[in-house]
Structure 1
Amino acid sequence: MTQFTPDLASRFARIALGHVERRYPFKLDQVLLGPDDRRSPTELHPVFHGSFDWHSCVHGYWLLARIGRRFPDLPEAAEITALFDRKLTPELVAGERAYLDRPLSGGFERPYGWAWLLKLAAELEQRMAPAERAWAEALAPLAQAFADRFRAYLPKATYPVRAGVHSNTAFALRLALDYAEAVKDQDLAALFRHKALAWYGADADCQAWEPGGDDFLSPALIEAALMARALPAGAFVPWLDRFLPRLAAQEPGALFAPATVSDRTDGKIAHLDGVNLSRAWCLREVAAALPVGDARRGVLGKAAETHLAASLPHVASDYMGEHWLASFAALALETA
């Protein structure tokens, strides 16, 4: 089984350190209300202005935070600490928070960026040293703002979004649950679990018509990974039996065949490396939620290895993938 080794962690850290403060190219997510709104990314986003776009920068910080906690003796550890000391300050985070209060910013990064920001906050909550606790405390107002947006949005979101891209709601709930549990917000966790059950609890016989041409998530497998996390003990296996009833026979076959990436310089086609890495993560999560002795564990584990082998060598093939793929590789490797 492919493991998250110190060598891989060091490589991923170097990749992320190379792009979280890289200012250009940068893709803004902004509604202009007038000529005065034409400002630079660093003015609009004092912390998360690198990595091609806001959400990728956020999960680049998550990747560095996770690596720094799990592998504290890496050569890159001091540089990670210096970055966080420099950027995760109350003043700079207040600038990020102010962006959310702009008119027509209510849907900014919903729900993908919301979930990654909460995932970063959850990781920082694990830090115990006083100097490191300052990072979590600085980020807390921004995390609270996004948690509040989830609280306002989910009750009126009648239908899930099953796309294989940023709008996918199962992915958002899966990451956001980690935050709710890390900060011990039982009401928020209950809201996430309630919505997961309302959206996906009755799903059955998934056909898995995927991947789409610019997907980076598997709509089927991220749903299964969410339900493995959200359902009570003993309820997940019966749900999975209904949702993917032929999983032991490696059906639907589309879930077991890694996506083909024909051009890694094309930002949308490069998404398909993300399909392979995020599938590996989900396959491992689902396998881990099954009872010992369940034959599907081996089937899913083997499929995860096949998907990792297809795309792990390509996390830095081109900047279109380099600015984000290592985070998804880390999710998969963390689940080993």
Structure 2
Amino acid sequence: MPQSVSVPEKTLEHWSSQYLTYRYRSKAALWWPTSREDIDVRWLPMRPGKAVQIELKTTTLAGAGLHDVLVDLGQLWEYRQRPIWQQPFYAFPWPDWPGNLTAVAIANGRPVTELGFGRSGPGWWFADWMVVLTAAQVAGVLYKELLAHGCPKRGSKRRLVRLDLSRSLSNPVVTWGSGATWPQFVRWRDFWTELEQCGRVGWPQLIRLPAWCTRVQDHLPRLKVAGLLREAASMIEMGEWDDDEQLVTLLPDADGNYDLAPDPGLNPDEPHTDRADEIPDHRQVVFLEARALLSRRYGRSRR
């Protein structure tokens, strides 16, 4: 029998889409690539900005008060073979409820469909209990298991983390992987706030900028890239942007700096398609137009 989950992954996909659409309005574009398909810049709007991938996971109920986040080793192995910019972030719930979210919401007089919105109340809103790790962090936790698996064959899942809420909902016993040390995750809303700035060194991001930005140099430090994105956003806000402006793509290195990439397509091969015998990916490609990165400058409250 299939294992029961606390929240369906499809529901998390819809809620994350609603969140991004509300937070960024028309300044965000979303795409759901097929399994094993990579970002192609030809999907993206012809505006400066940045793109990231989010792999959404849920928690599996493993007993009374026990929540497990399971990761497919073949999928993770495949992600880690890619360049940094092609690797997704993993986002998953950090529950403070004992079992199925629907049952808990109903017991507390809250329609579960409302939990996708801030009006559901502090602590109930899904954005309050989702967390984010990089694929590199996930692989670090599952290092031994991933090394033993060593191939893209899917179907073998291992536990990334277990939350034991049987004794306390507010202070669960947390066990990572095979006794791995606690990685530094980022809360869902904090993640987008940091991404609006520079992000962090090692974060997978794909940057689109006007071609004139790289005429002098094709290797740029991250703070310089952040400044150029803000400059491009200001041009759009002031009506000085030409939609025929040629764009270039910048890709991060391990030190957080950015190098010029060939265009128009970063992956000239034919994309992989979903097959019935494979576990599908639950990835979203999120493109934030440069204007979305001006939120702090204009004093908008964090959502």
Higher strand share: 2
TM-score scaled by length of structure 2: 0.28
TM-score scaled by length of structure 1: 0.26
Higher helix share: 1
Structure with more relative contact order (C-alpha pairs < 8 Å, separation 6 or more): 2
